[in-house]
Structure 1
Amino acid sequence: MTAEVVAPRPTSSVRDYLRLGKFDVYDYYLGILIVASAAPAEPVTLLLFLLGEVAVIVAGVAFDDVTGYRDGSDLVNYGPDDRLRKKLRKPLVAGTLTESQALRFAWGAAAIGAALWTAAVLTAPHRPMWSVVLLVVVFAAALQYSYGLKLSYRGFQEAFLVVLGMTLVLAPHGLITGEFSGFVLVQAVLFGMGPLMFGVYSNTNDVDGDRAVGRPTVAALTTERGNARFIGALSVGEFLLGALASVTGVAPWWFALLVLPATALRARQYHLGFAVGDIMRARKLGFTAHRTCVALLVLANVLVAIG
């Protein structure tokens, strides 16, 4: 009688869940520094909001991994033919977590995020309706980004990346000050552009996998030249937003000059991606450009505060 061979179950660890939640990619969380530099200190509310956004984003990326594993796109983008992408960053593809483990983790993080954001609203000195509604909408959209309604599979991926970043600045600022600020709106858009600008380079690299599963990113829908023009337009538009804000008085006159180092990095990123043809190095430089921009936005708020 032949003994039945049972396939070994994945041996999960804390590290696998950290990889599933992409805890090493902290760029969305930097928005809280912009809020803290632009508004009076409210440490309890800010801390609750920050912890809540970590949980919500972790839930969103975990759901994204589940969907990418189910439809096979992650198997293509992180498979043996792509040596630039580390398979261990995708625990489901690597086989270190099961789908049910990933789903339990994602739903648990979502519940924690909802509780923490509710606590942030309750402890805030102000509760403008627009801030609360924005939080509710973005919370729901984050969970439906690649799961459930699959918003990113319906043409909303690029817009969502910007709106999420904007919300993580605008909503807590509204809760702390009770006001809407044009200058903070400009900063929120620039902050949201950061994740978008390394997202579109990722999409450029992942175009074959996205096309195979019908995920309509701009890179998947257009030609290589059309995608390059789209990313070029985004890069120029980012600079023009700051320049227009300075010219119109929404931002201080020196604001566009202050953020020029980030603009230079963005130009370097585009050159790397589409002149040199090294998309993944360009994507990596996008993180540096975003973090530089955040530092400059914080500096701008400090300069405004001291007059």
Structure 2
Amino acid sequence: MRPNRSPLRILPSRRTLRVVLAASLPFLALATMSEHAYCRKHAEEPTTFEGPQYGDTPPLNLNIASLSIVDRGQPGLVPGDLSGRAPNPPDELLKQLAHNRLLTAGSGGEGVFTIDRASILHEPGGILDGQLNVHLDVTSADGRRTGYAVAQVTRSYDPKKKHGNSDTPQNLNALTNMMLQDMNQELENQIRTNLGNWLVTPQAPGSVAAQPLDGSDSAPTTSTGDTMTIGGGPTTDHPETAATPALPKPARPKMADQGPDAIFPTGYSSDDADSAAPATPQLRSPPPGNLTLPGSN
């Protein structure tokens, strides 16, 4: 049989619980304030978006002296264009691509890089469609030799969002970076295919070797500093003065005197056929015992 408990005995336990709850309220308030401050701090910090990565692709050296950029693909020019809401607008990234990949390495001529379109459209179903159109025109120093290359890129991106908007800054930035990577490769392919004669290859600091613009098989062009040599180098206007003088033939060595020859006692002429002067006979005395007096036996 359980003993009877007085109702007054429950009061201390309830009082203790109240004291514990009152003591924990400051800690709960402090935790709530800290969480609120953390969320507010991260909400105020701007989100940074990385631009496209092209890897270690080398620049394209063009045989021109200047390059200008014309932007005809600014945001809003195409109806429904969302490219202006992207963290990095695609037309600005195309300008950066032209500055990084197209270098001037010639002493004359000019090039014009034109952005024809850089748009992002929101299609039904939450799909984002992007399109980039550019072309490059080059002109030689005499204004007669011209060339061009056209590059176009289209890409669709499905964020796979079941609810909410798909044109968020994160999704627009992802689509823009993918299009710029495609354009980087497509532009290089078109330039090498259609403007291969305008590309130059660096040889050494301050000098480049260029292919001829007319597509001939002549010697490459070498440029150093402010001078340029085409073909095999400079030639003289008077070829007759540039002929190498004939060197004189070495003189025939003189042989030591060994007495009269048994066959030609008076000497013999020189064997040098190039000598114009006749040889002078050489007179020598006969050896002793060969001369006799007249009338003697």
Common fold by TM > 0.5? no
Higher helix share: 1
The structure that is strand-richer by fraction is 2
Give the number of the structure whose alpha-carbon radius of gyration is greater: 2
